[in-house]
């Protein structure tokens, strides 16, 4: 009988690999630089393992694609907070990857206790990578008016001016304190867990695999619990005293930074400590009346829509993802920065008998089972499946390493590609191109050009336009 196991990428990978080595699994290629996501196990020849983004693992196990999985309890609880009847069994605490989820406010804001949050008039905005846990926190605390802003990362950067609270990961309160955060509540303590699909657990013989994982975890060395203390970068004064005249600009973290720096340089714009080695999200800029914050490009359109930023540099893919979800959003593309070009493509397995979207439609609608579309871009994927009449389809949200889903865990991917090499390496083929995406400057559709701020915004646009050469 075959056993399928989902293993984590990222923060838990090293310890999990050590555990499975102790257990004598003999996995081929489970390490940080793994280029292929399917692994064979020497100890259990009938076992197949696959590497996922940690956040995908509870979902994959719950829907029954995998019998067992290893991931943080935080992501398990995030799923259960919204879907309590998920078919998941928490088998065992593996004793590493410890951390906790905290609801925090900013030291520079007005909130420092839970009581203050509850008695505060008006809207309480909570930012988090864990929107379901944030919502259940708000409901449990009986906050009468609240908005949850799901973000892909950098939640701690939002309070105090862009949110009242953030629900973030941390190891200790002291650590968060050193980052300038005030802990308002401790929501969950987590560590790495072995989880199982409920029906697999009830019906399948998983005993030898489970026993070896338990033995392996018993042999693990003590986790290094020393925490490095990082000093909080000082918040620029312009942020705290942000008047109506100050232009708030969001710059992306991540891989877009290098190309963007070149462009900024050409435009004569200097940003200190960007990219930052110490996680500074509020670098200074040499433009008067402009304050900068560094956040995830995925999160920018929503933040601009809500008036937290006037301008932001993100990809057109994320702008469209936002506009497909909220067609009446006031965010628009202002300037194409003509760099970081990728194509948004529809991808299927080489073995799927479909060469284009028309034959794909025939294939999808002729099938009994629902057609599974996996994507980081849930709304773009949903629109594509809807408009191409892919029949009874389901969109599976993913958090990266999407190529690993085909062919067994999804039928179609919607993802971006620069060269198409990764897609080919995973034995997949592109059957359609949805659009081309480049970096772009986005902003709010309603900017009064006559105001002082409006003029500042216009001058930034002009400088960048000249640098792009358009």
The reply on whether position 146 binds other proteins by CB under 8 A is yes
The answer to whether the beta carbons of residues 128 and 148 sit under 8 Å apart is yes
Q: In angstroms, what is the minimal distance from the CB of 212 to other proteins?
A: 35
Q: Measured between alpha carbons, how far is 398 from 301 in angstroms, rounded to an integer? A: 19
Q: Which strands form 412-417's sheet, in the order they lie side by side?
A: 393-397, 371-375, 412-417, 342-349, 428-437
Residue with Cβ nearer other proteins (210 or 442): 442
User: Per-residue contact track with other proteins, 27 to 66, x per CB under 8 A?
Assistant: ----------------------------------------
Q: In angstroms, what is the minimal distance from the CB of 327 to other proteins?
A: 6
Whether the bond between 160 and the residue before it is cis, its omega within 30 degrees of 0, is yes
Whether the bond between 221 and the residue before it is cis, its omega within 30 degrees of 0, is no
Q: In angstroms, what is the minimal distance from the CB of 308 to other proteins?
A: 11
Q: In angstroms, what is the minimal distance from the CB of 390 to other proteins?
A: 14
The reply on whether position 327 binds other proteins by CB under 8 A is yes
| H-state helical runs in 326-451 | 357-366, 378-387, 421-425
Whether the bond between 452 and the residue before it is cis, its omega within 30 degrees of 0, is no
Q: How far apart are the first and last CA of the chain?
A: 62
Contact window for other proteins (CB under 8 A) among 142-150, 208-216, 227-235, 410-418: 142-150
Task: Give the DSSP H/E element, type plus range, for residue 452.
Answer: helix 452-468
Contacting other proteins (CB under 8 A), which of 226, 243, 328, 449? 328
Q: Measured between alpha carbons, how far is 271 from 158 in angstroms, rounded to an integer? A: 19
Contact window for other proteins (CB under 8 A) among 232-240, 264-272, 319-327, 426-434: 319-327
The reply on whether position 144 binds other proteins by CB under 8 A is yes
Contact window for other proteins (CB under 8 A) among 136-144, 204-212, 335-343, 442-450: 136-144
Q: In the window 3-22, what residues touch other proteins (CB under 8 A)?
A: none
Task: Give the DSSP H/E element, type plus range, for residue 114.
Answer: helix 114-119
The reply on whether position 145 binds other proteins by CB under 8 A is yes
The reply on whether position 305 binds other proteins by CB under 8 A is yes
Q: In angstroms, what is the minimal distance from the CB of 81 to other proteins?
A: 9
User: 249: which 2 tokens?
Assistant: 């600009």
Q: In angstroms, what is the minimal distance from the CB of 330 to other proteins?
A: 8
Strand bridging mode 247-252 / 3-8: unpaired
Bridge partners of 405? none
Residue with Cβ nearer other proteins (326 or 435): 326
Q: In the window 147-186, what residues touch other proteins (CB under 8 A)?
A: 147-149
Going by C-beta distance under 8 Å and a sequence separation of 6 or more, which residues neighbour residue 35?
A: 29, 425
Contacting other proteins (CB under 8 A), which of 18, 63, 89, 143? 143
Contacting other proteins (CB under 8 A), which of 142, 237, 241, 446? 142
Residue with Cβ nearer other proteins (197 or 308): 308
160 HSE (CA, 13 A, CB side): 19
The answer to whether the beta carbons of residues 57 and 405 sit under 8 Å apart is no
Other C-beta atoms lying within 10 Å of the C-beta of residue 183: 20
Residue with Cβ nearer other proteins (140 or 341): 140
The reply on whether position 325 binds other proteins by CB under 8 A is yes
Quickly list DSSP for 50-105. Answer: EEE-GGGHHHHHHTTS-SEEEEEHHHHHHHHHH-TT-SEEEEEE-S-S-EEEEEEE
Q: In the window 79-118, what residues touch other proteins (CB under 8 A)?
A: 84-85
Contacting other proteins (CB under 8 A), which of 50, 125, 429, 444? 125
The reply on whether position 322 binds other proteins by CB under 8 A is yes
Coil, strand or helix: which one is 113?
coil
Q: In the window 351-380, what residues touch other proteins (CB under 8 A)?
A: 368
Q: In angstroms, what is the minimal distance from the CB of 393 to other proteins?
A: 13
Q: In angstroms, what is the minimal distance from the CB of 233 to other proteins?
A: 27
Q: In the window 391-410, what residues touch other proteins (CB under 8 A)?
A: 392
Q: Measured between alpha carbons, how far is 312 from 249 in angstroms, rounded to an integer? A: 5
List of residues contacting other proteins (CB under 8 A): 84-85, 125, 136, 138-140, 142-149, 302, 305-306, 322, 325-329, 368, 392
């Amino acid at each position: 009988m075959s056993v399928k196991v989902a293993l984590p990428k990222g923060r838990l990978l090293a310890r999990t690999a050590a555990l499975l080595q102790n257990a004598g699994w003999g996995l081929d290629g489970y390490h940080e630089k793994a280029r292929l996501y399917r692994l064979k196990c020497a100890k259990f020849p009938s076992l197949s393992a696959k590497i996922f983004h940690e956040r995908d693992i509870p979902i994959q196990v719950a829907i029954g694609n995998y019998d067992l999985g290893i991931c943080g309890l935080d992501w398990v609880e995030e799923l259960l907070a919204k879907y309590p009847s998920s078919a998941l069994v928490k088998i065992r605490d593996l004793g590493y990857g410890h951390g906790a989820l905290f609801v925090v406010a900013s030291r520079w804001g007005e909130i420092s206790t839970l009581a203050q949050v509850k008695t505060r008039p008006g809207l309480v905005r909570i930012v988090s990578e864990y929107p379901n846990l944030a919502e259940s926190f708000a409901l449990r605390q009986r906050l009468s008016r609240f908005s949850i802003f799901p973000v892909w990362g950098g939640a701690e950067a939002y309070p105090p001016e862009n949110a009242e609270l953030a629900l973030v990961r941390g190891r200790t309160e002291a650590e968060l304190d050193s980052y300038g955060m005030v802990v308002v509540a401790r929501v969950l303590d987590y560590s790495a867990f072995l989880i199982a699909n409920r029906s697999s657990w009830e019906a399948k013989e998983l005993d030898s695999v489970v026993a070896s994982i338990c033995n392996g975890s018993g042999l693990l060395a003590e986790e290094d619990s020393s925490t490095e203390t990082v000093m909080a970068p000082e918040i620029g004064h312009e942020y705290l005293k942000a008047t109506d005249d100050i232009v708030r600009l969001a710059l992306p973290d991540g891989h877009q930074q290098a190309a963007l720096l070149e462009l900024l340089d050409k435009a004569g714009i200097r940003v200190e400590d960007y990219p930052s080695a110490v996680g500074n999200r509020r670098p200074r800029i040499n433009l008067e009346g402009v304050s900068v914050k560094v956040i995830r490009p995925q999160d920018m359109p929503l933040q601009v829509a809500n008036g937290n930023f006037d301008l932001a540099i993100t990809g057109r893919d994320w702008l469209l993802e936002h506009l497909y979800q909220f067609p009446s959003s006031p965010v628009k593309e202002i300037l194409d920065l003509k760099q970081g070009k990728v194509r948004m493509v529809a991808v299927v397995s080489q073995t799927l008998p479909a060469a284009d979207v028309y034959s794909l439609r025939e294939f999808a609608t002729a099938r009994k089972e629902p057609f599974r579309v996996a994507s980081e871009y849930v709304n773009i994927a949903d629109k594509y499946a809807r408009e191409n009449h892919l029949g009874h389809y389901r969109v599976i949200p993913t958090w990266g390493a999407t190529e690993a889903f085909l062919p067994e865990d999804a039928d179609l991917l919607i993802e971006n590609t620069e060269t198409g090499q990764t897609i080919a390496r995973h034995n997949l083929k592109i059957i359609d191109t949805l659009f081309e995406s480049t970096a772009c400057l986005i902003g709010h559709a309603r900017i009064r050009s006559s105001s002082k701020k409006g003029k500042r915004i216009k001058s930034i646009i002009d400088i960048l336009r000249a640098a792009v050469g358009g």
